[in-house]
Amino acid sequence: ILCVFLTAFFANKLEHESKHCNGKGFQRQGSSSFDRVYTANQNCGHAYPTFLAVLWCAGLLCSQAPAAFAGLMYLFVRQKYFVGYLGERTQSTPGYLFGKRIILFLFLMSVAGILNYYLIFFFGSDFEIHIKTITSAISPLLLIP
């Protein structure tokens, strides 16, 4: 639900900037401030499918609590990226890099879950408890910028 609210916020900012710059409904041409809002909205929209896929896989295959924490952090970082993009372009860089780190964490959680499945299938060894302990210990490190 938070993802929907964030997307609605981005769309509302885009609509407001479009009406403010053009005086009409949504049009692609406009001022540089409109172009920044439009580009930030497009960038955030293009990143969501990847985010949702790795979030779902990490929660399903590895551990739900660290995946949910990383998902909430990612939504916060996307908001920071969007607002930073509206200012100077260098203000969006920390949000972008932080978002990449969170996506990498979720991806590694997914890979660990898949490897654990194959270890169980082929060798009968289950490392799920160890993986959950490690991901739970590492997830607070995502707060470090």
Task: Give 38-46's long-range contacts (Cβ < 8 A, gap of 24+).
Answer: 38/14, 39/85, 40/10, 40/81, 40/82, 40/85, 40/86, 40/92, 41/10, 41/11, 41/13, 41/14, 41/82, 43/81, 43/85, 44/6, 44/7, 44/10, 44/78, 44/81, 44/82, 45/7, 45/10
> What is the model's pLDDT at position 117?
92
Q: What is the pLDDT along the chain (145 residues), one digit of tens a residue?
A: 787 888 888 888 877 777 776 655 555 555 677 788 888 888 888 888 999 999 999 999 999 999 999 999 999 998 888 888 877 767 778 888 899 999 999 999 999 999 999 998 998 888 888 888 998 898 888 888 7
CATH of the domain at 65: 1.20.120.550
Domain range spanning residue 116? 2-143
> What is the model's pLDDT at position 89?
67
Q: How many domains does the chain have?
A: 1
